[in-house]
Amino acid sequence: MINNKETIFLKHKVVLEQMGENIKLARKSRKLIAIQVSERVDIARIHLYQIENGILLWLLVLDLIYFGYLELQDDSLKLGTDDTFGRELHNLDLS
């Protein structure tokens, strides 16, 4: 039997995975490696891996619950999707 907390986590897992993929694509479009980003942001490499792979982190789950309360859950999926700066960098590299 699935309890209430597991239902919340399952509901947000898909959102976390999509957000993580968008963040990873934005990092790669800027040709940054994970070690560079983790050092610049001052987080452990494993935490960056967890964020980019949608692994449930308590803080991100709490953010998603709060976004849901404010009815902004759909906006959270837009994170990193309209990456115009990354697209411009990619186009410059293709030329």
**Which pLDDT tens digit goes with each residue over 56-69?**
676 777 777 777 77
pLDDT attached to residue 43 = 86
Predicted confidence (pLDDT) at residue 74 exceeds the cutoff of 60: yes
pLDDT attached to residue 36 = 92
pLDDT attached to residue 41 = 85
pLDDT attached to residue 6 = 59
Arithmetic mean of pLDDT, 10-18: 77
Kindly state the tokens that stand for 29. Answer: 């479009």
**What per-residue string of b and e applies to 73-94 under the rule 16 or more CB within 10 Å gives b?**
beebeeebeebeebeeeeeeee
pTM: 0.66
Q: Residue 36 belongs to what domain range?
A: 4-94
Enumerate residues 6+ apart whose C-beta is below 8 A from 50: 57
Arithmetic mean of pLDDT, 20-32: 86
Number of domains in the chain: 1
CA atoms within 13 A on the CB side of 33: 2
